Amino acid sequence: MNNIGSIGRLCPKFALSIAPVLLCWPDLARAATTVPENAGNTAWVLAASALVLFMTLPGLALFYGGLVQSRNLLSVLMHCFVVCCIASVVWGVCGYSLAFTGDGAWIGGLTKVFLPHLDTILANGLPESVYVLFQMTFAIITPALIIGAFPERVRFPFVMVFTAAWMLLVYLPVAHWVWGGGWLAARGVIDFAGGIVVHTTAGGAALVLAVMIGPRRGFPESMRPPHNSGMTMTGAGMLWVGWFGFNGGSALAANGSAGMAILATHFAAATAALTWMAVEWRHYHRPTSVGFVTGCVAGLAAVTPAAGYIGPAGAMVIGIVSGSVCFFVTDAVKRRFRIDDSLDVFAVHGVGGMLGALLVAPFMLPQLGGMGFAPGMDLASQATAQLLGVVTTLVWTVAATYFLVKVLKVFVGTRVSDDEEREGLDVAIHGERAYDHA
């Protein structure tokens, strides 16, 4: 089968958003050679690509940066920027090819190494070059999310090598399984915009890294609060806006599916933020700004796999569930299990993404405002497929990340010295300060 065929087999990602519903792959392949470019779809996905990159730079960078101590702000920003660059190069060299070409059930092919001949027009009138760009932004933000597990204590070379190796070992295979026509797609697993591919993998990896690298000095007894909650709220606002491209762009068309995905995204974020605030207020007797925006991000992560398949009511329920569940998981990880997942990547992104992936099945029901199931699927079979996708992805991510960290501990090392951690990574590693008074 040619490469266009491989791209089209990512039906679970966008087939429900274009008419007729669930176009089969051979029709997509034939249409890709005859349909003209759709200027509206192209313009929207280009804009959505910019929004997704905006989520990482500067959104995620500021969100994470405000949560650490001032002496480590530049190191976190450097992590975000270097992850963006490394992930982009990996994507161009072989990432796109391994994720979205070939007929393999487990990994893609090598026909698009270094991205030659991107002049194909896909079945919805979208140029392949635009699709490559859009998917690259997802490949960027996934390892960028992981850095929230280990700020203020990790070696910079480790971040660089880990990013490249983890993409090859975890992100690209999982993306192929779900979006590239791999074995999970063949079993009916759906993931509209990355609850499994992005958030489950990032969250699972973050938990492993937090355990294996170990906590920051003084955790949890003498940890200082975030140095700039206002910066964190600013970054969260950018994430919220950028998420419209993350989810709305995954329709791969400027149509009603994109509009509904954005609407669902917004409702889930709003209800999750309010839910988190209410639970926090009850338990700790005050609503904090950091808690409020963390709840918002939990809702955004949870609605991601479901956004294009559900209605506003389902999105609100997902927001309520994720806002409350992620709050208690965050509390349990740090207080009960004493794991220093510093910026709550597992509890917010991992648990949120898995919740959304599992809840999508019931909220796809037309009676609940959803789009209905694909031919041959019903509530039970879709729920089973989603469970399979979440469990296998999490198990693979945990095992592969554990193996990778074990290897890199020997050849690269993971932690800075105690003196460097005490001084702060901005000066110790990069020789710079974010603030004159730091």
The pLDDT mean for the chain works out to: 92
Q: Please list, in sequence order, all residues whose beta carbon lies within 8 angstroms of the beta carbon of residue 96, skipping any fewer than 6 positions away.
A: 112, 115, 132, 135, 136
Contact 33, 4 (CB under 8 A): yes
112: amino acid identity, one letter: K
Confidence of residue 8 (pLDDT cuts 50, 70, 90): very low
Give pLDDT, residue 145. Answer: 98
65: amino acid identity, one letter: G
- Phi and psi for 154 in degrees, rounded to 5? -105, 150
Contact 374, 22 (CB under 8 A): yes
d(CA 113, CA 41): 26
Whether omega before 220 lies within 30 degrees of 0, making that bond cis, reads: yes
CA angle 160, 143, 217 (to 5 degrees): 70
Quick count: other Cβ atoms within 10 Å of Cβ 368?
13
Angle at which helix 351-363 crosses helix 201-213, to 10 degrees, equals 160
Mind listing the pLDDT tens digit for each residue in 328-365? Answer: 999 999 999 999 999 999 999 999 999 999 999 999 99
Give pLDDT, residue 313. Answer: 97
Least confident span in 6-20, 164-178, 279-293: 6-20
Class of domain 38-430: mainly alpha
Give pLDDT, residue 5. Answer: 37
**Is pLDDT of 3 > 70?**
no
Give pLDDT, residue 23. Answer: 29
Query: Ranked by mean pLDDT, which of 12-26, 80-94, 210-224 comes out on top?
Result: 80-94
| Backbone torsion region of residue 231, taken as left when φ is above 0, otherwise alpha when ψ lies between -120 and 50, otherwise beta | alpha
d(CA 59, CA 231): 10
**Is pLDDT of 28 > 70?**
no
**Is pLDDT of 29 > 90?**
no
Give pLDDT, residue 34. Answer: 65
102: amino acid identity, one letter: G
Give pLDDT, residue 220. Answer: 87
Give pLDDT, residue 221. Answer: 84
Mind listing the pLDDT tens digit for each residue in 104-147? Answer: 999 999 999 999 999 899 989 999 999 999 999 999 999 999 99
Task: Give the predicted TM-score (pTM) of the model.
Answer: 0.92
Mind listing the pLDDT tens digit for each residue in 400-411? Answer: 999 999 999 999
Q: Domains of the chain: which residue ranges?
A: 38-430
For residues 265-293, average pLDDT: 97
